[in-house]
Structure 1
Amino acid sequence: MGRRKGEPEKAPNHERWLITYSDLITLLMIFFVLMYTISNVNAKKFAQLSSSMSEALLGEKSGSFVGEAPGPMLVDTGQTAAGAKTEAASMEGALKELEKYIKEKGLEGKVEVGQEERGLVISLKEALLFRIGSADLTPEARNVVGDVGQVLAKMPNNIRIEGHTCNLPINTSRYPSNWELSTARATNVVRYLVTQVGLKPEMLSATGYGEFRPIVPNTSEQNRVKNRRVDIVVLKSLLNIAEPGKDNQVIIVE
């Protein structure tokens, strides 16, 4: 209906935008309240996960840790605090025994031993184990690998043998590349530990890295000598969950 004659025109309402603005503020407030609620719940869950990780890595209660595939989860490693302490003592004892052996046999520079996050690592240099371009163990190598194996036989841990070369290429009928050479060397060490020392084959694995895991840059012959090696890695039990054929309880935290 049109405006009557003589009726004064109403002034426009310039504050109508406040209605839309107040609706927007209300929706934003609801959104942030929901976000805060969700984050508060996740904080509690992740606090529990953090506690579980501390128990596993620091040995306070029981063995478990957090994984992220595809989301947060709790993985039971089956290792108790007492078990973790026993394993740490076993690793330390083996380290000291091997250091004493290296010193007594005058193997400094040929055999190195140390502890890493993944476990105990015994590094055997190529000059001790093999002739250049060969994967056959030398007589001296058999003695050293046998002695080291006797120390490792006392431990229940999985053992990974890792073959490494320098970056000098190889192309023979037997070893077309450093991949084949490094893998063959690792496999031969595994075979000797099983057949001559008596280590359980299910506890051993062999892998070859070729020239792609150097410990120093391959910029000189001195450095290349250091990179040509076989590492015997005594893996911590915590890493057993990554091994195939292991039964581990996985609890997904939603």
Structure 2
Amino acid sequence: MSKKTRHEEHEEHADESWLLPYSDLMTLLVALFLVMYAMSATDAQKFEQMAQAFNSALSGGGGVLEFRSDSPTNTQLDQGRKDKMNSVIDKNTGSSELSKLRTKEQEDLEKLKKQFDQYIKNNGMTDLLSTKLNQSQLMITISDNALFASGQAVVKDESRQLAKSISTMLQQFPDYEVLVQGHTDNVPISNSTYSSNWDLSVARALQFMKILLLNPNLDPVKFSPIGYGEYRPIDTNATAIGRAKNRRVEVSILRKYKDPAAETTDVSAPGK
């Protein structure tokens, strides 16, 4: 009987060592729920700090709570905002510099235009030459009568000084593209040298450009001759006066800093 009694007492005191792993399991479950809750929060930086704290407490810094957020932290977001702001500043700075260059270019072209206009006035050539400044270019228009004999592309001897004066003034813009453009009226040409107004207009532009480039201070790379024939008239071809205006050579200094948003404003020479 005594042995049976001792056995019953032993059954009343069962082994409770299972409580230790059970408590560890419950701790991990609590940590898991905390992780899941943190993942639903918007502040990824705080979650990462929390995960690091749990890792340090439960597993010495490593384990199931290790986490590296792929979402930007507050610090990263702040840096992103700073980068974006700096980009805007750089863009505004670039726009400001471009605006300054446009302003400087406008002032220089207006100054050059006044020089041309003064030359035209001093030499009594207001009926033969004119200037026009707009948002694309500064254009000097020369009547064919000031340069060529009828139906010819050879520049008159007395007109070579005009070309020399123009080339001297063009030296102020050595880095600018210059177009030399020939135009005719719509009267068909009939001689053995030129078979069409196309040929005549190209030849006139080329010959005048060659005289300009006798100035060694001008870069031939910046110059281009173009012939438009009768196809870009500025007046009617129905009258003699209109046809005379259409027969011309134009020397255009092209702007480098155009403003597409600006409205075109033309400034014509006196007497134009």
TM-score by length of 1: 0.62
Q: Which of residues 221, 241, 246 is equivalent to 1:222?
A: 241
The residue that corresponds to 2:205 in the other structure is 186
Q: Which of residues 210, 232, 252 is equivalent to 1:213?
A: 232
2:178 maps to 1:146: no
One-letter code of the match for 1:125? Answer: S
Q: Is the 8 A contact 1:149 1:197 kept in 2?
A: no
The residue that corresponds to 1:200 in the other structure is 219
Give the distance between the partners of 1:226 and 1:197, measured in 2 at CA: 32
Deviations 1:181-227, CA, capped at 9 Å, x for gaps? 00000011111111246411011001000000000110101110010
2:161 maps to 1:129: no
Give the distance between the partners of 2:247 and 2:208, measured in 1 at CA: 15
Q: Is the 8 A contact 1:61 1:81 kept in 2?
A: no
Q: Is the 8 A contact 1:121 1:231 kept in 2?
A: yes
Structure number with the higher strand fraction is 1
The residue that corresponds to 2:176 in the other structure is 157
- RMSD of Structure 2 on Structure 1 (CA): 2.2
One-letter code of the match for 2:159? Answer: A
Deviations 1:65-115, CA, capped at 9 Å, x for gaps? xxxxxxxxxxxxxx7222212111110000111111110010111000111
Give the distance between the partners of 1:193 and 1:203, measured in 2 at CA: 12
Give the distance between the partners of 2:198 and 2:116, measured in 1 at CA: 29
Q: Is the 8 A contact 1:146 1:197 kept in 2?
A: no
The residue that corresponds to 2:111 in the other structure is 93
Q: Is the 8 A contact 2:167 2:215 kept in 1?
A: no
Give the distance between the partners of 2:215 and 2:232, measured in 1 at CA: 29
**Displacement of 1:148:** 1.2
In the alignment, structure 2 segments of 5+ residues that lack a partner are 1-90, 259-272
One-letter code of the match for 1:153? Answer: Q
One-letter code of the match for 2:219? Answer: K
Give the distance between the partners of 1:61 and 1:212, measured in 2 at CA: 44
The residue that corresponds to 2:122 in the other structure is 104
**Displacement of 1:169:** 0.5
Identical residues among aligned pairs (%)? 31
The residue that corresponds to 1:62 in the other structure is 94
Q: Is the 8 A contact 2:105 2:257 kept in 1?
A: no
How many pairs are equivalent?
168
The residue that corresponds to 1:167 in the other structure is 186
Runs ≥4 in structure 1, deviation > 6 angstroms? none
Give the distance between the partners of 1:137 and 1:113, measured in 2 at CA: 20
Q: Is the 8 A contact 2:197 2:230 kept in 1?
A: yes
In the alignment, structure 1 segments of 5+ residues that lack a partner are 1-54, 64-78, 240-254
